[in-house]
Structure 1
């Protein structure tokens, strides 16, 4: 089990769907927070990193159930995008 803590002082701001090839297939709706606002509380050992193309963006998923949890994009490396449908 993977458990996160999110600090969302303004709530969910600007959720959207990414149009990259991997996110389109996942169908995830994402919201974004500064890196300091997402903290893994437990289960980090169940998260795996997937990188494609340039290898800069970091996409994380659970190895047990396969769900996409969060990512760090190449274009905005100071924030995490998280799958709000998972929360």
Structure 2
């Protein structure tokens, strides 16, 4: 599986650095969702992607990065609706299950 398009959920340091590095490498960020829409809008303008208004409506992607707090991973993952794609999170202490 080749990852060419990514949706990022989260707007903290980890998400921001991931977004900037992917953009620098030519990997497309299809959209970014943050608890604060203004934060999502700021990030989206910097890399020319969509600022998402709802975690329930994310565009199709090859990968969905959950860069949220450890206690929010399960809640956010349960809200995502998609048919394909890899879901990853950035926690070092939380199971993907």
TM-score over 0.5 (shorter chain)? no
Structure number with higher helix proportion: 2
Question: Structure 1 or 2: larger strand share?
Answer: 1
TM-score norm. by structure 2 comes to 0.23
Could you tell me the TM-score, scaled by structure 1's length?
A: 0.25
